[in-house]
A and B are shown apart, each in its own frame.
Chain A
Amino acid sequence: MRFMLLFSRQGKLRLQKWYTATAERDKKKMVRELMQVVLARKPKMSSFLEWRDLKIVYKRYASLYFCCAVEEQDNELITLEVIHRFVELLDKYFGSVCELDIIFNFEKAYFILDEFLIGGEIQDTSKKSVLKAIEQADLLSPYHTC
């Protein structure tokens, strides 16, 4: 996987994860371009499209689009389920996850993603294993309110 983006229907980027070195300028350009392409698509359309030399796999969950760019030889359907499993992980962690959870706890979303994917490849597909790692970390930290 080359990168993963989460953005809202209004075109606000909520999470971006790049798995190959990319210049900030190019990132911004690609995000803008891709959001435009994906947001213009209608509900019954396929979840896959060719974009530049990449395959884009995306799925909408409520107000959020999850969008992965994978390479020529990658499997589209399994990527779609990578997205779904990530959503399940977020859901399990936050308890019925919504866009606001990801906005206010963006760092957690990144941590969960890091436990699930490294360098764009799946580290573990078991929900239990991934969440164990995150929850262990939460236990390690005291609660602050100031």
Chain B
Amino acid sequence: MPAVSKGDGMRGLAVFISDIRNCKSKEAEIKRINKELANIRSKFKGDKALDGYSKKKYVCKLLFIFLLGHDIDFGHMEAVNLLSSNKYTEKQIGYLFISVLVNSNSELIRLINNAIKNDLSSRNPTFMCLALHCIANVGSREMAEAFAGEIPRILVAGDTMDSVKQSAALCLLRLYKASPDLVLMGEWTSRVVHLLNDQHMGVVTAAISLITCLSSKNPDEFKTCVSLAVSRLSRIVSSASTDLQDYTYYFVPAPWLSCKLLRLLQCYPPPEDGAVKGRLVECLETILNKAQEPPKSKKVQHSNAKNAILFEAISLIIHYDSEPNLLVRACNQLGQFLQHRETNLRYLALESMCTLASSEFSHEAVKTHIETVINALKTERDVSVRQRAADLLYAMCDRSNAKQIVAEMLSYLETADYSIREEMVLKVAILAEKYAVDYSWYVDTILNLIRIAGDYVSEEVWYRVIQIVINRDDVQGYAAKTVFEALQAPACHENMVKVGGYILGEFGNLIAGDPRSSPLVQFNLLHSKFHLCSVPTRALLLSAYIKFINLFPETKATIQEVLRSDSQIRNSDVELQQRAVEYLKLSSIASTDVLATVLEEMPPFPERESSILAKLKKKKGPGAVSVELEDGKERGELNGGGDRGGDAAIAASNASTPSPSADLLGLRSTAPVSGTTPSAGSLLVDVFSEAGPSATSAGVNDDGFLSSAPPTVASEDPAPPLPESDELLNKFVCKNNGVLFENQLLQIGIKSEYRQNLGRMYLFYGNKTSVQFVSFNTTVSCPGELQSQLNVQTKTVEPLVEGGAQVQQVINIECLTDFIDAPLLNIKFRYGGALQNISLKLPVTINKFFQPTEMAAADFFQRWKQLSQPQQEAQKIFKASHGMDTEVLKAKLLGLGTALLENVDPNPENYVCAGVIQTKAQQVGCLLRLEPNAQAQMYRLTLRSSKDTVSQRVCDLLAEQF
């Protein structure tokens, strides 16, 4: 036992600690502790009143036991008693016990608060400080309620001792952080700001933490602190290393205060006052200059303190992001640190450069260090430094260096630490997509990613590559070829099988001409992986097989044989069995036409932000670790139960949801797939056969149908339009026929024709169930202004729609003058007693009344110039949401109703169109120019017409189409 026991050593405590240390086993320790607990308990319960010293000793022992990790359920009262002792050390132990072990025992809190109150008003500075420390240590709401009013008074009172002021400032900060609503701003706030001028450096150091926190929450109320902070900083920066005596740390004047001042300034924009700003820039320059001076000491403390200020100054420079000169100097300074022998400095330089990379002024300067950073990624021995290097590469990546950076990251992945692989994979996937100029590079990159780090490729990543391949027809053949080659590897990752199965199922035909990848070879290759895969992948492969039957009739017999085998058709997994049975039946009874419709190629996905980004954000965000764990568990269970999230895209192509991507990228939110029973669905298929894949409702996965409740709206009033009704409307801008709407019960098809300012629309209401709809009623209304712009007449429909039947309604439309809104269609009926109430927008848009106008180039440009007033033109620049295929674009422009004028625009990539909108009141001539930029995947669309509202509306409508 050491003799060291400073101050008021408690011998009994030392003996006890010594005993515990001598225990040979955990059991012995517990035994010794239990013995001690029994002893203390008996002392506390004993008749003899304990003196203060004994009480202190036992409370301290209890505290020790608690800190060892054992529960303590008594002694609180004795600790509270110590609070009111007059002996400082007894009070101190009491407060320490309370600080460590307080719980929300209300009775106890009242007693504690009482003791604190007494100490706060004792005017004994050491007691006051103890009480303040305790409040700050506990920081509970009850304490805030009791003392949030009192502490500001202590803080700004003229006669408060400096040490108490320091404690009060930080105590208040803790309460404000825990319960901001209880700390009320008031007259004290302005006086707190002036503590920045206090003579006592300790007071300034403590107060500035409080001021920084308050300023970040209420910048306006505290903005006077900016000039005060600048002048304080300036005084410190220009002082000699010995001026500040005890506040100089290893020859650096007041490093903590300097850092805090620089941090406070980061709550505000650059000072507006020229003089203040000038002074601040001077400070920042001085700090940067000092970094170049020879060190005043060899001790690491000296350089740490000095560089702490430097990094904080650089943070401020980055925060202002307005002084190119300082930004570039900061970048150069960090560049020096990148090769410093101190690991800490390399780490911080990499970290700090990440933020510099996002500033336009310093992005290029950061990029010059690319080789050093790549080298760091390869050679740093510390994983956390390598992680920073990877972050920086990600941040400095742009179009000019993307290929190099992605290649380096990929090669690093081969040997990367397990802890950072998943994040690296996400980053590579994001960069590859963001900077893909040619998509074959993108496909190569992602497939490499799966090959190198398949286990870390999350679902988001492989969903995304499929989405992109589906949407870009220029890469589909290449993707099929590459994935076919990748699958040749004897051991390939299951994620590769998923991507392979999906892509060959969709686009295997593009490589089937080559005998080395003939349909049967493709099938055999896929099927050779089948038995090694998990259930969700097998399910996906089965869907790929049925797609093969459609793509390559010659494989039908072989595949049917596979489906028919016991291992499929009697598989113990219900999902696999169901697929095998249904696919087998579908392939044997459906005609080739039906099969072709059901298994049609996936339609393009609507463009959306990559969910990989969201995943990366989440991963980097708070509590990422625990969230990931829970997710993993949840996903695991889903998979076990026949997850349909993984291959929802295939399910969706069989079903009839208008937006198949909802499942694909919505990930775990597997929306109910609205399939229909073949008997009801097949009635409808033929009618809308021209409507494309969205009408193919011969559901294969119909299990979502019975379980999911139909949407019910109890009110008799017309429901508000469905949220997706605008989207539905947009689908019909360039086409006249198709499926307008579909849910589990009802399908609505449209055929329409327009001549001059007149239109006729046929609506087909199909009952998808086997139960009749009663009180079937539809109304069309023109809300607001539209009433005077459109004349719409409808014929009523029969109130009864039999199960599986379809009724037709005719609508006549007359366009009186130009308009913006669309008429509303409301459908009400009862299904099994429940009222269904659906409102949609009827796809009547102004462009339907276009008459195409052919004209020569000279005429076009003459008219174009005539329509040169600003309000006659509407323009939009937007990102391509679909492939930029020429034929598709042309079809859409023709669908708009205008004439597509060839050989008019000098640039053959551009499209120009002309048409006249026919309304009863007037005719509005309209010229259009669409300029695609394939490299940037952007369009510029310009509309000119004699009427500003028309230009704008047509422009808005059309911009949604590409």
Contacts and interface: CB of A to CB of B under 8 A. Distances in A.
B353 interface: no
> Which bracket fits the contact residues of B?
35 or more
B205 A122 contact: yes
Interface string A18-54: 0111000000100000000000011011111110110
B205 A138 contact: no
A78 B246 contact: no
A21 B382 CA distance: 32
A127 B246 contact: yes
30 contacts: A42-B381, A45-B384, A48-B344, A48-B348, A48-B384, A52-B625, A75-B308, A77-B305, A81-B256, A84-B304, A100-B2, A100-B4, A103-B21, A104-B5, A104-B17, A107-B92, A107-B93, A118-B132, A118-B133, A119-B136, A121-B206, A121-B209, A122-B206, A125-B247, A133-B129, A140-B126, A141-B8, A143-B8, A144-B10, A146-B12
Interface string A94-132: 100000110111111011001000110111111111000
Contact of A101 (B4, B69, B346, B348): B4
Interface in A50-78: 50, 52-53, 73, 75-78
B744 to A, nearest CB: 43
Contact of B60 (A53, A107, A142): A107
B624 A107 contact: no
Contact of B384 (A44, A46, A124): A46
A68 B219 CA distance: 29
Given A53-B622, A73-B263, A125-B202, A94 B6 contact: yes
Contact of B8 (A21, A77, A118, A138): A138
Interface residues of A, number: 62
A110 B96 contact: yes
Interface of A: 13, 16, 19-21, 28, 41-42, 44-50, 52-53, 73, 75-78, 80-82, 84-85, 93-94, 100-101, 103-108, 110-111, 114, 118-119, 121-129, 133, 136-138, 140-146
Contacts of B348: 48, 76-77
Contacts of A142: 8
B343 A46 contact: yes
Contacts of A85: 249
Contacts of B12: 146
A26 B246 CA distance: 39
Contacts of B254: 125
Nearest to A54: B622
Contacts of B178: 20-21
Chain B binding surface SS class: helix
Given A78-B259, A118-B167, A125-B247, A45 B5 contact: no
B4 A143 contact: no
Contacts of A50: 384, 387
Given A81-B301, A105-B4, A106-B67, A123 B126 contact: no
A137 B7 CA distance: 9
A95 to B, nearest CB: 9
A78 B384 contact: no
A100 B21 CA distance: 11
Contacts of B540: none
A111 B96 CA distance: 8
B87 interface: yes
A129 B136 contact: no
A76 B344 contact: yes
Contacts of B301: 81, 84
A124 B204 CA distance: 9
Nearest to A143: B8
B290 interface: no
A28 B67 CA distance: 11
Nearest to A134: B7
Interface stretch (B35-43, B169-177, B554-562, B936-944): B169-177
Given A46-B385, A48-B384, A104 B347 contact: no
A46 B129 contact: no
Nearest to A125: B256
